[in-house]
Homo-oligomer: A and B are copies of this chain.
Amino acid sequence: MAAAFELSRLKIVLAGARNPLNIGAAARAMSNFGFTQLRVAHPYEEAFREARSAVGASEILAKAEKYDNLAEAIADCSLVVGTTTLRNRELQHPCEILLHGAALIRNHMARGQAALLFGSEKVGLSNEELSHCHWLMRIPTREEHPSMNLGQAVAVCLYELARDAAVVRPVANLETASAESAERMTALLLRGLRSSGYLGRDSGASTEEKIRRMVRRLNLSAEDAELWLGMLRQMIWKCEQENKK
């Protein structure tokens, strides 16, 4: 099993969890496999409170961080992976099966922080939530019954991630841009597209999600992200000068 400091680089993020038993089960699986960082994004308040106050609630649960929105919950992560069953959803992202996806996440953990997202019990991750992801990961379940219980899905993913975490390969690579700077780039690009007239003022959420996904696919390094932010700012300034006239 990998060093503890390394497993702490993976944030397990539950988005919109409704059932306190599932939140508790996720925390228990984390403890079984040595992960410590649990975050919940826009949870049902009562579910989160109940899970924390349950008899035998773990230290992980006590220290779990609550965020009002997903963007904040993943801001410090440079890799964001969403879990999905792909049921009833068009494939907008590359999708890896767990075996390979876990290897990619482990590689990333050697040099930066990663987030693994699980959606609500009822509907999984929404399109808006998925648009924050670099890629998706799927547990190879049966097509006729792909949808897993949340606590069980967390356990299976963490088992695979911890299984031979000892063989994390160091990759000589650039530091990847954080989700926060990818999101800043998304916001600036949208502003540029609006001020240039590429997008109408009233372009909707689906356009925004499309642009967000596209920015994530760039897999920018931290350095390149800064460069892009500077270039976009200047182009926006110019476009907005024109619009003032």
* CB pair A29 B152 closer than 8 Å: yes
Chain B residues near A217 (CB-CB < 8 A): 221, 224
Count of interface residues, chain A, beta-carbon cutoff 8 Å: 67
CA distance A85 to B172 in the complex (A): 15
The residues in A between 173 and 208 inclusive whose CB is less than 8 angstroms from any CB of B are 173-174, 189, 192-193, 195-198
Instruction: Choose among B1, B148, B163, B169 the residue that contacts A28 (Cβ–Cβ < 8 A).
Output: B148
Does A159 count as interface, using CB distance less than 8 angstroms? Answer: yes
> Beyond the given A28-B152, A217-B221, could you list 4 further A-B residue pairs with CB under 8 A, ordered by the A residue number?
A25-B151, A155-B156, A196-B238, A238-B239
Instruction: Choose among B32, B94, B160, B234 the residue that contacts A196 (Cβ–Cβ < 8 A).
Output: B234
0/1 string, A122-152, CB within 8 A of B gives 1:
0000000000000000011110011111011
Which chain A residues have a beta carbon within 8 Å of chain B's beta carbons? 1, 21, 25, 28-29, 31-34, 91, 94-100, 139-142, 145-149, 151-153, 155-156, 159-160, 162-163, 165, 168-169, 171-174, 189, 192-193, 195-198, 214, 217-221, 224, 227, 230-231, 234-235, 237-239, 241-242, 245
Min Cβ gap A19→B in Å is 11
Chain B residues near A214 (CB-CB < 8 A): 224, 227
Instruction: Choose among B1, B152, B235 the residue that contacts A25 (Cβ–Cβ < 8 A).
Output: B152
